[in-house]
Amino acid sequence: MRVPGALDGRVADAGAAARPRALGTRRRALVWVMVRLTGLLLSVLVLGHFALTHILTDVANTGSSFVARRWGSGVWLAWDWLMLAAALAHGTAGIWVAIEDYTPSPAARRRRQWALLALAAVLFVLGSVTIARVILG
């Protein structure tokens, strides 16, 4: 992994112009904190979700009637939406760094990172719409 701020553009070198501008130190620090906070949140939300739908309830009994019953409660709607938002933020930040590590070409890197953001945005909208439709009835 790259040291935060190491490629802030203060050092003039031949490749600097071709490289996409690295995130600033401050923004990197904020993402770092976000990954830790969402991670802590997800350790409760995801394990709780998995325990409920796979361990306490057999997965064969989690059909639409189970979902309807569970989403009858505002707590579970909030739980699921928070889990969706936290997981997408956490996962996007993680894969963002993985793309930086494994994509030397700046153009390909930008393409992949945009694709990642697009995928996360689509999933966020899809999941939010699904939950919003339940709330609005």
The gap from C-alpha 76 to its chain's centroid, in whole angstroms, comes to 20
When the beta carbons of 9 and 108 are compared against other proteins, the nearer one is 108
The gap from C-alpha 55 to its chain's centroid, in whole angstroms, comes to 25
Maximum separation of any 2 CA atoms in the chain, in Å: 62
Minimal distance in Å, beta carbon 94 to other proteins?
A: 5
Amino acid at position 17, single letter: A
Minimal distance in Å, beta carbon 43 to other proteins?
A: 5
Could you say whether residue 130 binds other proteins (CB under 8 A)? Answer: yes
- Cα(38)–Cα(90) distance, integer angstroms: 6
When the beta carbons of 4 and 91 are compared against other proteins, the nearer one is 91
- Cα(125)–Cα(107) distance, integer angstroms: 27
**Restricting to residues 34-93, which ones interact with other proteins according to CB under 8 A?**
36, 39-40, 42-43, 46-47, 50, 54-55, 58-60, 62-64, 67-68, 84, 87-88, 91
**Residue 36 to residues 15, 41, 42, Cα–Cα distance (Å):** 32, 9, 10
- Cα(69)–Cα(64) distance, integer angstroms: 9
**Restricting to residues 10-39, which ones interact with other proteins according to CB under 8 A?**
36, 39
**Interface ranges with other proteins (CB under 8 A):** 36, 39-40, 42-43, 46-47, 50, 54-55, 58-60, 62-64, 67-68, 84, 87-88, 91, 94-95, 98, 101-102, 119, 123, 126-127, 129-130, 133-134
